[in-house]
Structure 1
Amino acid sequence: MKKLLTALAAAAALTTLPALAAEKISVAATAVPHAEILEFVKPALAEDGVELDIRVFTDYVQPNVQVAEKRLDANFFQHLPYLEEFNSSRGTDLVSVASVHVEPFGAYSSKIESLDDLPEGANVVIPNDATNGGRALLLLQKAGVITLKDQGNILSTPRDIAENPKDIRIRELEAATLPRVLNQVDLALINTNYALEAGLNPTEDALVIEGAESPYVNILVARSDNSESDAIQKLAKALNSPEVKAFIEEKYEGQVLPTFE
């Protein structure tokens, strides 16, 4: 009887022990589609012992700054060319952990229905960061609007335009502001995350858009000192899961394209 009571007491003690705390990681993201994808994987990560704290940002600078300064653990908002340029110009050591999706970049207008209708001296706005600005110019070149001196340079600027038959006037603005000035210009080249937030449908509304072969794959980014941590690797695995692939394909209907099998 004494042995039974001892065993029961031990069992009761075990049931009162607190559950092991989940490991918490903070991840910066832009609202659409990045934060939405992170929200989708959040329950599965919780079951896997990782508590995901999603911080939504509206710009492309602070998510990297705050990860580099160890105020956040990771981010999910950018493509590899942007990360490489940021590391080079800022002296940071951020690394790509997983490739997730492509957001085909597009050109939009509230004034014309075809690039053939782009007027002489048209006002055109593009992102003001080096990689997305170059990306916009490459798309304009692909559409036959301009020709660049180095036709494959992803870091081209308006100063690198060799031919500009319609004498378009290009201004560089912060990427997040471009949808807000769409009705004030003839053409705006807008990152898909901001286009989606503004209610634009890239596959229907863009006058010209990148194809699925775009090299600008969006990635999960962390620091070199935490990229191999168990929690970050679990997040990377979740973002490359069949469930996320199906979620992206169903929710975004070709406006966002998964890049993993």
Structure 2
Amino acid sequence: MRFARLGPVGSEIPVALHNGEAFDLRSIAADINGAFFAADGVAAAKAALAAGTLPAVATEGVRVGAPIARPGKIVCVGLNYSDHAEETGATLPDEPVIFMKDPSTMVGPFDDVFIPRTSEKTDWEVELGVVIGATARYLESPDDAAAVIAGYAVSHDVSERAFQLERGGTWDKGKSCETFNPFGPELLTADEVADPQALGLRLWVNGVERQNGTTANMAFGVNHIIWYLSQFMVLQPGDVINTGTPAGVAMGIEGQPYLRAGDVVELEIDGLGRARQTLVQA
């Protein structure tokens, strides 16, 4: 099943997408958020859609928001693709590299991205985003992770490399600038994804392809990441995990200019849709 949220910032309507139409979910849920997943809103939405009780809503000319409301937390994995580690001169880690991203960075998939003031190294990263659908703490093994995944979405982990790597040694401030996590356009439920380790990811800057990878190259797969995180923190319904990026970021290309105002980034993941953002100066 596919979910989206449509409408102005702060007034998005939760919808189910089916056969090219959008169906209003407000009769069964106020929003697509942690409470929705915790109450098995996916099953309720499927039942209501099958029963024909959900009214259709117009989509033409309507803003597409992030497919979930602001998460409780965004947890990110760094250096998780072998080709990305190679291009940055890093060694693949023995355990996942974990950092946090401010949840308020989440914006819609077609919203503008702000280049921070004083930024010279704003970079792009297409990533597979995982939405948690049930509480996960101290999972016994990676095999248990699949049961707590609500679904998947395209995630853009925008990064400011100087803030991240050159100013104080903490990654979070280079990842948490305003608008730095466009998400969507839709959430595809986990049961619709046959193998999250067999998805192609692509990104273009001003029409030039910069990233073209596959989740098969992850050093740590989705299930391993969720199991691993559950040993250190409680994952709650509605939380988001950004699972890393393949090769092709500006930081890894000698002489490659970083993003500037007016640049356009487009990105997609197999089966999860395509997003597009314009860079503007904050």
Report the TM-score, using the length of structure 1 for normalisation: 0.26
More helix by share: 1
More strand by share: 2
Report the TM-score, using the length of structure 2 for normalisation: 0.25
